[in-house]
Amino acid sequence: MTTPTARDLAAPVAPLSPEMSCADVFDRLLKEGDLLNIPVVDGEHPVGLVSRQDFLLVYVRMYGREIYGRQPITALMNSNPVIVDAEMNCEDINTRLLSTPESFALQGFIVEEGGRYLGLGSAAMLMRITGDIVMRRAEELERQRRRAEAANESKTQFLAGMSHELRTPLNAIIGFADLIRMQLFGPVDPPRYLEYVEDIYDSGVHLLHMINELLDMAKIEAGRFDLHEDEIDLRYIGAEVLRMLRQSVETARVKLDVRLPAALPLIRADEQQVRRVLVNLLSNAIKFTPAGGSITLSAHERADGCLEMTVTDTGIGIPPDKLDKVLEPFEQVENSFTRTRAGTGLGLPLTRAMVEVHGGTLTLESELGRGTCVRVSLPAGRILRRASIDAA
Higher pLDDT, 347 or 17: 17
Task: Clarify whether residues 175 and 315 are in a common domain.
Answer: no
Q: Note the pLDDT of residue 1.
A: 60
pTM (two decimals): 0.54
The pLDDT score that the predictor gives to residue 237 is 92
- Helices (runs of H) and strands (runs of E) counted in the chain: 13, 13
Q: What is the pLDDT of residue 291?
A: 92
**Domain end point (choices 221, 241, 260):** 221
Same domain, 248 and 200: no
Q: Is the pLDDT assigned to residue 296 strictly greater than 90?
A: yes
**305 plus 354 within the same structural domain:** yes
> Has residue 281 been placed in a domain?
yes
Do 312 and 387 belong together in one domain?
A: yes
On whether both 383 and 243 belong to a single domain, the answer is yes
Closest C-alpha among 284, 300, 288, 267 to residue 347: 284
324 within some domain = yes
The CATH number covering residue 48 comes to 3.10.580.10
How does DSSP assign 182-246, residue by residue?
TTTTS--SSTHHHHHHHHHHHHHHHHHHHHHHHHHHHHHHTT-----EEEE-HHHHHHHHHHHTH
Asked whether residue 253 falls in the same domain as residue 379, the answer is: yes
Residues 260 and 320 in one domain: yes
Distance CA 312, CA 306 (A): 19
Tell whether 180 is covered by a domain. yes
Q: Is the pLDDT of residue 387 over 50?
A: no
| Number of structural domains in the chain | 3
Q: For residue range 356-373, what is the model confidence (pLDDT) as tens digits?
A: 889 999 999 998 888 999
Rounded to the nearest 5°, which phi and psi values hold at 109?
A: -155, 155
- Under the phi-then-psi rule, with left for phi > 0, alpha for psi from -120 to 50, and beta for the rest, what region is 331? beta
Over the stretch 113-170, which tens digit does the pLDDT of each residue have?
Answer: 988 999 988 888 888 888 888 888 888 889 998 888 887 777 767 766 676 677 788 8
- Of all residues in the chain, what percent carry a pLDDT higher than 70? 88
Contacts of 44 (CB under 8 A, 6+ apart): 115, 116, 117
Q: Which residue has better confidence, 46 or 324?
A: 46
Quick one: 385 and 361 in the same domain? Answer: yes
Please write the tens of the pLDDT for every residue from 198-210.
889 888 888 887 7
Whether residue 142 lies inside any domain: the answer is no
Residue 141: inside a domain? no
From residue 88, how far is each of 6, 112, 114, 365, 372 by CA, in Å? 6, 10, 12, 47, 51
Quick check: 276 pLDDT over 80?
yes
Confidence band of 331 (pLDDT split at 50, 70, 90): low
Residue 91 in any domain: the answer is yes
Query: What is the phi-psi region of residue 45: left when phi exceeds 0, alpha when psi lies from -120 to 50, beta otherwise?
Result: beta
Judgement on whether residues 156 and 286 belong to the same structural domain of the protein: no
Q: Where a domain ends, among 74, 101, 121? A: 121
Enclosing domain of residue 183: 149-221
Mean pLDDT rounded to a whole number for the chain: 84
* Residue spans of beta strands (DSSP E) within the chain: 37-42, 45-51, 83-85, 109-113, 116-121, 229-232, 255-259, 266-270, 294-301, 307-313, 361-367, 371-378, 383-384
Residue 215 and residue 273 share a domain: no
Strands 109-113 and 83-85: parallel
| Domain endpoint, select from 168, 195, 221 | 221
Q: Name the residue with higher pLDDT: 221 or 191.
A: 191
Does residue 352 register a pLDDT over 80? Answer: yes
Say which CATH number the domain at 333 has. 3.30.565.10
Are 211 and 234 contained in the same domain? Answer: no
Q: Would you say residue 128 lies in a domain? A: no
- Are 235 and 211 found together in one domain? no
